[in-house]
Amino acid sequence: MYTSISVEDLALRLAEGDRDLQLIDVREAQEIEIAYIEGFQVFSLGEAQQWSPHIGSRLNPKAETLVLCHHGVRSAQMCQWLSDQGFTNVKNISGGIDAYSLLVDPTVPRY
């Protein structure tokens, strides 16, 4: 099970600089080249076969984990998958990086 967080709440959390917060971006490499938010680790869904067997050793299943994509659909899939893997504090970033650009930081390119 997972919950959602707004892009406005994400901006507040980023401003706090919480080092225990895990930030995951599931978009593909070509999307990351267009727009990226500093601090996010990239786990592209298209490359899941490479990283999924090691996710438990690369991330802390008990840490608060925020997941981002373009609009919030792929990140929701990742949130569900992480929950199924035993992650206990997973949140989908509603609206994705597109909403972040529209509502928080217009310097982040839209695509």
The answer to whether residue 64 sits within a structural domain is yes
The answer to whether residue 19 sits within a structural domain is yes
User: From CA 76, how far away is CA 84, in angstroms rounded?
Assistant: 12
> pLDDT at position 74, please?
98
pLDDT value at 109 more than 90: yes
Question: What is the average pLDDT score of the chain?
Answer: 97
How many domains does one find in the chain? 1
Mean pLDDT of 82-94: 97
Strand segments (E) across 1-111: 3-5, 22-25, 41-42, 65-68, 90-93
Q: What is the CATH number of the domain that holds 90?
A: 3.40.250.10
Structure pTM?
0.96
The answer to whether residue 109 sits within a structural domain is no
79 is known as an active-site residue? no
**pLDDT tens sequence across 32-83:** 999 999 999 999 999 999 999 999 999 999 999 999 999 999 999 999 999 9
The domain in which residue 63 lies consists of 3-103
Name the catalytic one among 69, 93, 97, 99.
69
The answer to whether residue 68 sits within a structural domain is yes
